A = this chain, B = another copy of it.
Amino acid sequence: MTADSHAPIRADARRNRDQILAAAKVVFQAQGPDVPMEEIARSAGVGVGTLYRRFPDRESLIRAVAQDSFERVLAEVRSVALEEPTAWATITRLLAHSRELRVMLQLALLSERAHEIITRDPAVRGIRDEIFGLLEDLVVAAQREGSLRADIGAGDIGVLLSLLVRTFPAADAEVAGMMLHRATALILDGLRAPGTPLPGRRLVQGDLG
Q: How close is A192's CB to chain B, nearest CB, in angstroms? A: 8
- Which of A1-9, A16-24, A157-165 contacts the other chain? A157-165
> A85 at the A/B interface (Cβ < 8 Å)?
no
> A115 at the A/B interface (Cβ < 8 Å)?
yes
> A111 at the A/B interface (Cβ < 8 Å)?
yes
Q: Which residues of B contact A175 (CB under 8 A)?
A: 203, 207
Picked from B163, B191, B199, B201, the residue with its CB within 8 Å of the CB of A163 is B163
Chain A's interface size range is: 35 or more
Q: Which residues of B contact A188 (CB under 8 A)?
A: 190
- Is B166 a contact partner of A182 (Cβ separation < 8 A)? no
- Is B169 a contact partner of A181 (Cβ separation < 8 A)? no
Q: How close is A132's CB to chain B, nearest CB, in angstroms? A: 13
Query: Which residues of A line the B interface, CB within 8 A?
Result: 32, 34, 108-109, 111-112, 115, 156, 158-160, 162-164, 166-172, 175, 178-179, 181-183, 185-191, 195-196, 198-201, 203, 206-209
- Is A198 a contact partner of B170 (Cβ separation < 8 A)? no
Q: How close is A140's CB to chain B, nearest CB, in angstroms? A: 18
A209 to B201, CA, bound (A): 36
- Is B182 a contact partner of A156 (Cβ separation < 8 A)? yes
Q: How close is A207's CB to chain B, nearest CB, in angstroms? A: 5
In the complex formed, the residue of B with least CB distance to A158 is B169
Picked from B115, B156, B159, B182, the residue with its CB within 8 Å of the CB of A159 is B182
Q: Which residues of B contact A209 (CB under 8 A)?
A: 169-172
- Is B183 a contact partner of A159 (Cβ separation < 8 A)? yes
Q: Which residues of B contact A170 (CB under 8 A)?
A: 207-209
In the complex formed, the residue of B with least CB distance to A187 is B190
Given A112-B167, A189-B195, 6 more contacts at CB 8 Å?
A115-B169, A160-B183, A185-B199, A186-B187, A187-B187, A188-B190
